[in-house]
Amino acid sequence: MRVLGVDPGLTRCGLGVVEGTPGRPPALVAVGVIRTPAELDVSKRLVQIEEELDAWIAKYQPDAVAVERVFAQHNVRTVMGTAQASGIAMVVAARRGLPVALHTPSEVKAAVTGSGRADKEQVTTMVTRILKLSERPTPADAADALALAICQVWRGGVASKLQQAASSRAGLEATAQAQARLQVARLRAAVAAQQSKR
């Protein structure tokens, strides 16, 4: 499974692509940051993020996109920019038919470090270890994007397998019920045919 993690932001939008399966260490595919100048109009900054995200998806062909769920912060301007970039990431993924998973920062921290209260330094350290990188990914936005992708590979992969198993079971049950109804209908037809001969 290949996942593009997006740590949304207007000034810096972290991107990280990893590949792996639940229960095994994933591998780094690519990491980077989309930067947009603060003096540029917000709408133009969002277009720039949209274009670069689309190019990343076209280049790295992920199976899914994991985006950090926006949560309330004290700085309203920061939240607005983060929410706008997050929305762009979801639209770009949806346009290409990719599933989008939203993870809270504490979910990502817990998946990568074992603690939902880990700080950015601990997250970066664990991402470096998990992906067996020779250098720490910088800035923190890049490390956070990789952490999101790792979280989705490990947690989302398990969730999708459970969902597939549940839908497969539901499908089997529906098929069994349909076959039972067909058998009953055939028996009734045979009984009706026997009775009409008498």
Q: Residue 146 has which token pair?
A: 């990789």
d(CA 98, CA 1): 12
Distance of alpha carbon 107 from its chain centroid, rounded?
13
Indicate the Cα dihedral angle 28, 33, 34, 39, nearest 10°. Answer: 180
| 107 classed as catalytic | no
Among 7, 50, 52, 144, which one carries the catalytic annotation? Answer: 7
DSSP character for 70? P
Q: How many helices (H) and strands (E) does the chain have?
A: 6, 5
121, 141, 144, 173: which is the annotated catalytic residue? 141
For the record, the structure tokens of 176 come out as 């069994």
- 29's tokens: 């595919």
Q: Is 63 a known active-site residue? A: no
Instruction: Give the Cα separation of 80 and 88 in Å (integer).
Output: 12
Catalytic residue among 50, 52, 68, 144: 68
Tokens of 59: 């280049």
Rounded CA-CA distance 82/68 in Å is: 9
Q: Is 144 assigned a catalytic role? A: no
- Which residue numbers are catalytic? 7, 68, 141
